[in-house]
Amino acid sequence: MAQRLHLVFGGELVSPTKNVFKDVSKIHVVGMFPDYQTAYGAWKAEAQRTVDDAHMRYFIAHIHRLRDEAEPGSPTEELGA
């Protein structure tokens, strides 16, 4: 069974209307989580903590969607092996 990893991260945006970080070096990585439910809980806690700052935004990235286990590895992946 494939793992369904989720990354929760966020930071200050240039504008509340755009998903562009003001300073990428200051992105807050909350953590990697084994399922959506756990990731959602972490995301919600950070979103609520920063609710008064319209420029702060947190996201859940579905890491498991970046790779299809049924497909062979990409040339870039094989370089690191």
Give the percent of the chain with pLDDT over 70: 79
Average pLDDT, integer, range 57-77: 72
pLDDT score of 74 more than 60: no
Nearest to 22, CA basis, from 32, 11, 31, 30: 11
The pTM score is: 0.77
